């Protein structure tokens, strides 16, 4: 059973998730469901387990108990399909400092089995036009973050999991990203993000999850 | 899958070209270690010819280990490893691509440099050929087996000693057969046995190591 991109049942569910870091229990019995067109904003103090939750949702970490389900199936059982539907931007931007933005994006496309898209247009949209042939190490922190975010636009995926996507990004960039998330939700995508900033999304139903108290 | 593998190899080679200085370090180490032997031992050409094969193999092994850490650590630190593991391609295939790229910039130069050092050690022609043959099949084994160790220890901050402890015992069969082949060839015997034996190890490593590397990378990223 391969979940098709248009399948309406493709929703992300967390069932009775319990996560620990070291010997400390971060949260227990966490459950939610995210439907197409919905966004979930994860909030919580530093150390509440936001990043751990996001890494668990994308399958990098395994929960102590419970499961994460995509289209009703455990993500570890359908990893290739789930990964094809996933776009994750973590704490580390996941770009090579010695490659140019264009070279970085080409590798990302190839990893997802895609031919070369119109990357210049995407770089233009994230405000990196003119920087496409500059090694990323010479870019500022915010610009490097934008390269990572350009991946969201370059690689089509249903589910966006974004860990602090607004870090180091200027106000225009925040607006650009909010628009991108809006467009993604309007097209039936799902998004899970953490942010310390107020996120203003026009479209889609936005849920909020506050970690650190219930557990 | 092929496209992704080719693209990973291309990226790693491009990165290697942009960090040329790091590539040279293991090669210099290789050169220095081997050239110290004639200086420290009696410079008797016959004795050098006897120990030459073994010395070059040991030095190649250590130089190869020196280069290992660069295989996954930079990727781990900048988050590109997460992207590899989260891509829809099988992690084992991508790991194999990375090991191949790493071998091209570390194992292959070692192999090409070996004849030069063979001259330094007064190795006879047949022994030199044997050395090249065993290094050709042996250095990929070093890269593949080493990659398992690197993948397991990449999440640790100081992994140097642990990596050697994990990986060196696994290198010993390769070393024994590799060094023996040079001696056999110098004595006029066939080297098919040792070469085929290392070849068998290579086949085993090629088939099983990528799976182990992939699993180890997942564990390290948790």
Nearest residue of chain B to residue A97 (CA atoms) = B78
The more confidently predicted of residues A199 and A46 is A46
Q: Look at residue B170 in the predicted model and tell me its pLDDT.
A: 93
Task: Select the more confidently predicted residue: B159 or B133.
Answer: B133
A4 domain-assigned: no
**Is residue A3 situated within a structural domain?**
no
Q: What are phi and psi of A209, to 5 degrees?
A: -130, 120
Within chain A, where are the H helices? 50-57, 79-84, 101-111, 119-125, 141-154, 171-186
- Rounded Cα–Cα distance for residues B110 and B123 (Å): 17
Q: What angle do CA A134, B9, B221 make, to 5 degrees?
A: 90
Question: For residue A90, what are the contacts with CB-CB under 8 A and spacing of at least 6?
Answer: A51, A54, A55, A163, B79, B82
Domain membership flag for residue A60:
yes
What is the tens place of the pLDDT at every residue in A74-125? Answer: 999 988 899 999 999 988 888 888 999 988 998 888 888 887 778 888 888 8
Instruction: Name, in order, each residue with C-beta under 8 angstroms of B51's C-beta and a sequence gap of 6 or more.
Output: B37, B41, B121
pLDDT at A5 over 70: no
Tell me the two tokens of residue A181: 């998330």
Confidence band (pLDDT; 50, 70, 90) for A196? confident
pLDDT at A136 over 50: yes
Tokens of A96: 């090579």
Residue A213 has pLDDT above 70, yes or no: no
- Work out how many domains chain A is built from and give that number: 1
Average pLDDT over chain B, rounded to whole? 91
Please give the pLDDT value at position A1: 37
Neighbouring CB atoms inside 10 A of B172's CB total: 10
pLDDT for residue B30: 94
pLDDT band at A132 (very low <50, low <70, confident <90, very high): confident
Domain range enclosing A47? 12-211
User: What pLDDT, on a 0 to 100 scale, did the predictor assign at position A7?
Assistant: 53
Average pLDDT for A14-32: 87
**Which strands, in side-by-side order, build the sheet including A24-34?**
A24-34, A12-21, A65-70, A73-74
Could you report the per-residue pLDDT of B210-221, keeping only the tens digit for each? 999 999 999 998
**Residue A24 included in any domain:** yes
Query: For residue A102, what are its two tokens?
Result: 């264009």
CB A110 within 8 A of CB A117: no
pLDDT of A214 > 60? The answer is no
pLDDT range class, residue B122, cuts 50, 70, 90? confident
| pLDDT for residue A27 is more than 60 | yes
Give the model's pLDDT for residue B56.
93
Q: Are B88 and A70 in contact (CB under 8 A)?
A: no
Q: Who among A94, A98, A99 is closest to B82 (CB)? A: A94
pLDDT band per the 50, 70, 90 thresholds, residue A208: confident
- Binning chain B into helix, strand and coil, the percentages to the nearest 5 are 85, 0, 15
Q: Is residue A83, in this structure, part of any structural domain at all?
A: yes
CATH of the domain at A138: 3.40.50.300
ipTM rounded to 2 decimals: 0.85
Q: Which residues contact A210 (CB under 8 A, 6 or more apart)?
A: A43, A44
State percent of chain B over pLDDT 90.
Answer: 61
**Residue A32 to residues A25, A38, B11, Cα–Cα distance (Å):** 19, 12, 39
Buried/exposed B83-108: b ≥16 CB within 10 Å, e otherwise: bbbbbbbbbbbbbbbbbbbbbebbbe
Residue-wise pLDDT tens digits, A54-82: 999 999 998 999 999 998 889 999 888 99
The yes-or-no verdict on residue A4 having pLDDT over 60 is no
Largest CA distance in chain A: 48
- As a whole-number percent, the residues of chain A with pLDDT over 90 amount to 11
Look-up of token digits 């915010």: A142
Is the Cβ pair B14, A94 closer than 8 Å? Answer: no
Q: Flag whether pLDDT at A215 surpasses 50.
A: no
Average predicted confidence (pLDDT) for chain A: 85
Three-state DSSP state, B131: helix
CB interface of A with B, residues 81-110, below 8 Å: 81, 83-84, 86, 88, 90-99, 103, 106-108, 110
Q: Is the pLDDT of residue A23 over 80?
A: yes
Q: Which of A211-215, B18-22, B32-36, B155-159 has the lowest mean pLDDT?
A: A211-215
Residue B110's pLDDT band, with cuts at 50, 70 and 90, is: very high
Query: How many Å apart are CA A27 and CA A21, to the nearest integer?
Result: 10
Map residue B70 onto helix, strand or coil.
Answer: helix
Closest CA to A191 of A72, A58, A66: A58
Identify whether A2 is part of a domain.
no
Out of A83, A99, A110, the one facing B3 most closely (by C-beta) is A110
- Angle among Cα B53, B55, B58 to the nearest 5 degrees reads 110
Q: Is the per-residue pLDDT at A3 higher than 70?
A: no
Q: Which residues 58-97 of chain B have a CB within 8 Å of chain A?
A: 77-80, 82-90, 94
Binning pLDDT at 50, 70 and 90, where does residue A8 land? low
Q: Is residue A1 part of a domain?
A: no
For residue A106, the chain B residues in CB contact (below 8 A) are 7
- Distance from the Cα of A12 to chain B's closest Cα (Å) equals 16
Stretch A196-206: mean pLDDT: 73
Write down the pLDDT at residue B62.
92
pLDDT confidence bin for A172, thresholds 50/70/90: confident
In a domain, A204, yes or no: yes
């Amino acid at each position: 059973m391969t979940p098709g991109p248009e399948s309406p049942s493709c929703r992300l569910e967390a069932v009775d998730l319990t996560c620990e870091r070291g010997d400390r229990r971060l949260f227990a019995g966490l459950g939610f469901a995210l439907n197409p067109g919905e966004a979930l904003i994860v909030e919580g103090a530093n150390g509440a387990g936001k990043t751990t939750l996001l890494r668990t949702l994308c399958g990098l970490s395994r929960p102590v108990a419970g499961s994460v389900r995509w289209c009703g199936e455990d993500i570890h059982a359908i990893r290739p399909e789930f990964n094809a539907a996933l776009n994750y931007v973590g704490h580390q931007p996941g770009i090579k400092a010695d490659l140019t933005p264009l070279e970085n994006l080409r590798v990302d496309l190839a990893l997802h089995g895609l031919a070369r898209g119109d990357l210049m247009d995407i770089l233009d949209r994230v405000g990196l036009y003119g920087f496409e042939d500059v090694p990323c190490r010479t870019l500022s922190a915010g610009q490097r973050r934008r390269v990572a975010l350009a991946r969201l636009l370059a690689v089509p995926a249903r589910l966006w999991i974004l860990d602090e996507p607004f870090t180091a990004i200027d106000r225009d960039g925040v607006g650009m990203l909010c628009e991108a998330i809006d467009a993604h939700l309007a097209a039936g995508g799902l998004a899970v993000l953490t942010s310390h900033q107020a996120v203003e999304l026009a479209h889609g139903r936005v849920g909020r999850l506050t970690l650190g108290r219930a557990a | 899958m092929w496209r992704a593998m080719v693209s990973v190899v291309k990226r790693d080679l491009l990165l290697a070209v942009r960090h040329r200085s790091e590539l040279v370090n293991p090669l210099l180490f290789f050169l220095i270690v081997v050239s110290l032997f004639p200086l420290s031992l009696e410079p008797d050409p016959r004795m050098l010819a006897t120990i030459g094969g073994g010395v070059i193999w040991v030095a190649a092994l250590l130089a190869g280990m020196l280069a290992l850490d660069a295989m996954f650590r930079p990727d781990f630190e900048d988050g590109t490893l997460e992207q590899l593991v989260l891509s829809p391609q099988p992690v084992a295939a991508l790991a194999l691509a990375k090991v191949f790229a790493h071998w091209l910039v570390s194992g292959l130069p070692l192999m090409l440099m070996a004849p030069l050092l063979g001259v330094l050690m007064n190795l006879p022609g047949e022994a030199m050929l044997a050395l090249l043959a065993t290094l050709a099949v042996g250095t990929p084994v070093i890269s593949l087996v080493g990659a398992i160790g690197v993948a397991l220890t990449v999440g640790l901050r100081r992994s140097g000693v642990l990596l050697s402890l994990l990986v060196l015992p696994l290198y010993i069969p390769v070393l024994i057969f590799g060094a023996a082949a040079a001696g056999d060839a110098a004595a006029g015997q066939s080297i098919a046995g040792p070469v085929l034996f290392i070849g068998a190890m290579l086949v085993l490593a090629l088939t099983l190591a990528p799976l182990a590397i992939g699993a180890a990378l997942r564990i390290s990223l948790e």
